[in-house]
Structures are given as C-alpha cells and as structure tokens.
Amino acid sequence: MAALRSLYAYIERYKYELIAGAFALIVTDALGLLPPWLIKLAIDHIGKTKGQTNFINPLLKYSILIVSTVGLQVLFRYYWRKHLFGISRKVEYDLRNDYFRHLQRLHWGFFQHTKTGDIMSRATNDLQAVREFLGIGSVIIIDTTVIISTCLMLMIVISPRLTIISLLPMLMVSIIVLKFSREIKRRFESVQGQLSEISSMVHESMAGIRVVQSYVQEANELNRFKRLNHQLIEKNLGLIKISGVFFPLMVLTTGGVAALILWVGGKEVIDGRLTLGSYVAFNGYLAMLTWPMAATGIMINLSQRGAASMQRIKEIMDVKPGICESQQSSASGRRLKGKIEIKSLTFSYSGNGNILTNINLKVDAGSSLAIAGPVGSGKSTLVKLILRIYDISPGSILIDDIDIREIPLKILREFIGYVEQEPFLFSDTIRENIVFGVKDVTAGEIDRAILVAGLDRDMRIFIDGLDTVIGERGITLSGGQRQRVVLARAIIKKPKILILDDAFSNLDAYTEDMVFKNIIGFLKDTTIILISHRVSTIKEADTIAVMENGKIAETGTHDELISKGGLYNRIYKKQIFSEMDLVEE
C-alpha cells in the first residue's frame, strides 16, 4: 500500500473539491438514514391510534417527509458523483501527463532495454486501475464510514441486544476477507504483467508486419498471440475466482443475519420488549449495512489492484533520467559557434569493457570531420556522446571551450542536428516530418531544405506533394526517400553542429556525394561530423579520423592519410578494387 501514498500529492491539488464531494456524500448518507426512522414513527403511530379516524394526516406528513428526503438525496448524489468521480479523472490526467513527461527525460539506454508495449500498458491499463481505486474507492471509504457508524448507533438505540447478535457474523466475515487481500494483489500484478506482454507482442508484430508477411509467418504470430492471450485468460480467471468469493460470502452472511434477526427480533416484538415500528426500522438499518459489507470486499479488491498498478507506474517514475542538469551554466545567453574538442575520452556501457579509449580530437567551428573505420570500432558511440546521451568519465567534450556537462541539455541539443542510420518518421505528412521541432518555417525554407537533401525530384511523384501522408514510420516511402526526409528535417533546423551517422547508407554513391556537397555548401558556418563507409564521400571532409577498436588510429586529410599507407589507405584501396570489379561485371 506504500505505492498509494504517492497519490496524496495529486489529490492535494483538488482538496476543496474533495471536501465538497465528501460533504455531499455525507449529507446523502444522512438523508438515507431518515426513511427507516420515519417508517418506524409511522407504524408506531398506527399502533397507537388503532380504531381512531384521525391517523390519516400524520401518515400524510410522514409520506411527504420521505418523498422530500429522497428528492434531496437525488440532488446531493449528483454533486458527490460530480466531484469525487471528477477528481479521479483529473488525477488520472495529471498522472498520465507526468508519466509521459518523465519518459521524455529518460536516457536512450532505458528504451533499449524496456519494451514499448510494457511502457504503453502501464500508461493505459495500470492508470485505469489507479483511477478506479480513486473514484469508486474514495466513495466507498466515505460511504462505509458514515453508514456503518450511524447505522450502528441507531441500531444500538433501538436494541443493543439485536445489534450485538447481528454484528458477530459480520465481524467474522471481515476477518476472512482481509486475509484474501494479499493474494488479490499478487494475482492482479500477474494479470497486468501479462497485459504488458501482449501489448509488447502486438506492437512488435505490427511494426514488423512486412517481415512477418514476407516470411509467411502470420500463422506463427497468431499462435504466439493466442498462447499469450490464453495465459491472460487463465490469470484473469484465477483473479476472478478469489474476487468472486467476496460477494457470495456477503449475501450468505447478510441472509443468515436477517433470518436470525427475524427469529430473535420477532420474539421480542411478541413478548412486548420491542415495538413493531422499532423492529421494522432495525431491519431497515440492518439492510443498509449490507452495502458497506459488500463494499468492503470491493474496496479491498480495488485497493490491491490500485496498489499493484501504482507500483508498476512508480517503477518507471522512479527511474532516474541518467543525465543530471548542471545547476550553473557557462552557456546561458551565449550562442554556440560549433567548435568541438574531445580530450582524453574513455567510455564504456555500464563498465562492461571500454568502447572508446583515450580519444582526442579537435574540430574547428564551421569545418567538417569525417570518421571512418571498421564496423564496431566505436564511431556511432563517439558522436552520440557529443549529444550527451550518456555522461562521460574520464575525459571531457568541449563545445566552444565549454564542457558539455555545463551546458543545459535543451540549449545543447537545440544547436545540434543529428541524423542516424535508421531514419525515424512520424505517421504524418512529409511537411510535418520536415518541420518537426522547428517553429515559424516559411514555404521557401522548406523548399530549400528539400532541394539540399536531394528530395526535390521525388516530390514530383507524390500526388499531394508535401501534404502526402507517409504512413507508420514512413512505410510508403523507400529507404532512400526516408533518409532524405530526415536529412531535410536536420537541414531546415540550420544547426551549428550537424552529425550525420551513416545517414546516406540507403543512397547510391552519386546521390550521396551530391547531397553531402549540397549540405557543405548550404550550411557553410556549420560544423559537420560525418560517419560513412564510402571513401568517395569521406574525402570531401576537411579532416578525417580513422577509428579501430575504440581508438583513433590516424587523422589527416584524404591525401595525407593515403600517403601514410595505414588503415585508411587499405580501406580506400579495397573500395576502389570492389568498384572496379563491379564495373567489369
């Protein structure tokens, strides 16, 4: 239940609505106590005036009072439902916003190790369980407290003996119900976990639907889904079995108590120790206790579900962002120019062996650096560290002689454009994908970015032009078109530093060379860092750094590195010979 305490801060925001709703509910419950007492008075009045003709007017008075009471109940019931259920919706809204805001701050590594379907399930299924606990749960807490306390007082006033007799079986049931609570929580956690598994599987299958269909794996995917779905129904049935014990137990108990009171209370009426009106009123209040007893079971069920779901949400909310913002910034109010210096940088993921070792590089503002090297040599890791995806130690990365750890992330990333090998596009129009993250863009700027990215010829084949909807992750575009849309997105930003991490992998050599030259010409004052496997493009850079096994093997211009006869020279010759073989074929 500790997980539910974190909800107090959210409820505190709506304390006045909570007070108003609680007041309306208490008044509703108090009004509900009047009809049995009015009926008692009416029956006793009939008994006293038996054989008389003047008993009609008092009965009419009691009837009007009962109808008026019910009318007021309807009014106050509307207000408590509006406020108490409204609060649960507002807390759900706030919690969902905070959850998404927190996800936006988490580092990339978290999403590499956490299934998207699991994250989505917590944001939907678990938040719904928390809302149900807050909405129905708050009503039950107030309702049962008021009804049980007031009904018991009135029952004691009518007959202490009958009250004790009626309570003993109910107390025994309450003890039994409490023992079920832990098992309910355990089973509900299992159900929610299974829902996450299903969400993850569906998300993965739909994202890879082209692969599934091309390998004719639809039947296998369906069987996989059926297996997970079967496990879900089994777990749900297990939860239902234990939850279902509550209500039959309540009905059995209240029925047994009613039979007991019928016998004992009826005997007291016959013996003259209890009036008929008091007996009817007592049974009315006893019947009113049926709801709180049943509600106790519902409350335990909801609270355990809510606690389990809130715990799952907290597991995500408690994950630290991984990147700590500096309290004091040396870059506040300063426009970065793009000079980059990397000093004695060594880096590893979670201490599992160095990915980068003693990296030292310097890139002047407005110049270009190409990074070459074999697969797995640490090229992509190095450029991602400039974005401060991970914090580094030992070593440092400076931009304009300022350690990036002293630059607010928002400022740092606003000045950097980043294009990775796997282009990501949103399920929107080409226009919205290009202007993503940039405000007040003119049509001319969009056209210019398209031209620089080499996308202008492709735009002619789209019937709706820039307003063409490209589908989930740009599924309707070719690989090369997707890369050029993402390039246009980075170009229109006009960043001071542009990182191209194998961003031309789906383009042919001619188009790659053309686009890279366009970028260099258009973004003259931008520092460009390029990772590519094609020497024909790399050689256009001002400086080339060659990496091997996480280290800088050599640096220089294209001609300087060729003359050295090192790793770069071997890569160059290998590509030249490969191209010659292709020409001969």
The pLDDT tens digits of the residues spanning 540-560 come to 889 999 999 999 999 999 999
Q: Based on the fold, state whether residues 254 and 386 are members of the same structural domain.
A: no
Do 376 and 427 lie in one domain? The reply is yes
Largest CA distance in the chain: 127
Contacts of 132 (CB under 8 A, 6+ apart): 88, 302, 305, 306
Q: Is residue 313 part of a domain?
A: yes
Residue 188 in domain: no
pLDDT digit string, tens, across residues 42-52: 777 776 665 55
Counted domains in the chain: 2
Based on the fold, state whether residues 80 and 140 are members of the same structural domain.
Answer: yes
- Are residue 157 and residue 298 in the same domain, yes or no? yes
Residue 196 clears pLDDT 50, i.e. is over it:
yes
Q: Which among 317, 350, 376 is the end of a domain?
A: 317
CB 329 within 8 A of CB 407: yes
pLDDT at residue 583 in the model: 43
229 in a domain, yes or no? no
Mean pLDDT for the stretch of residues 503-510: 85
* Residue 187 within any structural domain of the chain: no
pLDDT for 418 equals: 92
pLDDT surpasses 60 at 584 = no
pLDDT at 582: 43
344 and 311, same structural domain?
A: no
Q: Determine the pLDDT at residue 270.
A: 83
Q: CA-to-CA distance for 568 and 31, rounded, in angstroms?
A: 88
Q: Which of 210-214, 362-366, 514-518, 530-534 is predicted with the least confidence, judged by mean pLDDT?
A: 210-214
Q: Percent of the chain at pLDDT above 90? A: 17
Which pTM value belongs to this model?
0.74
Chain segment 306-329, per-residue pLDDT in tens: 888 888 889 888 888 777 766 555
Strands 402-403 and 396-399: antiparallel
437: Cβ contacts below 8 Å, ≥ 6 apart: 489, 493
Same domain, 391 and 489: yes
Same domain, 288 and 422: no
Estimate to the nearest angstrom the gap between the alpha carbon of 328 and the chain centroid: 31
* Judgement on whether residues 61 and 148 belong to the same structural domain of the protein: yes
The pLDDT confidence band at residue 334, using thresholds 50, 70 and 90, is: low
Does residue 408 register a pLDDT over 60? Answer: yes
504 and 573 housed in the same domain:
yes
DSSP state, residue 124? I
CA proximity to 370, closest of 501, 562, 484: 501
Please tell me the predicted confidence (pLDDT) of residue 580: 53
Single out the residue in 317, 348, 364 at which a domain terminates: 317
346 and 386 in a single domain? The answer is yes
Q: Is residue 188 scored above 90 in pLDDT?
A: no
**CA distances, 212 to each of 39, 164, 206, 207 (Å):** 71, 67, 9, 10
Task: Provide mean pLDDT across the span 157-163.
Answer: 87
pLDDT > 70 in the chain, percent? 90
pLDDT (tens digit, 9 = 90+) per residue, 264-317?
A: 888 888 888 888 888 788 888 887 777 777 677 777 778 878 888 888 889 888
Contact by Cβ (8 Å): 3, 310: yes
| 143: CATH | 1.20.1560.10
Strand boundaries in 364-409, DSSP class E:
368-372, 396-399, 402-403
CA separation for the pair 356, 353 (Å, rounded): 9
Considering the domain architecture, whether residues 380 and 298 belong to the same structural domain is answered as: no
Tell me whether residue 550 is in a domain.
yes
Is the model's pLDDT at 178 over the cut of 80? Answer: no
Q: What is the pLDDT of residue 497?
A: 93
What pLDDT score was predicted for residue 238?
A: 85
Average pLDDT, the chain: 83
| Beta carbons within 8 Å of 444's beta carbon, 6+ residues apart | none
Which stretches does DSSP call E strand in 131-202?
A: none
Beta strand pairing call for 368-372 and 543-548: parallel
Give the structural domain span for 294. Answer: 2-180+244-317
Q: How far apart are CA 547 and CA 354, in angstroms?
A: 14
As a whole number of Å, the end-to-end CA separation of the chain is 72
Supply the CATH number for residue 522's domain.
Answer: 3.40.50.300
- Is the residue at 28 inside a domain? yes
Let me know if residue 305 belongs to a domain. Answer: yes
501 and 561 together in one domain = yes
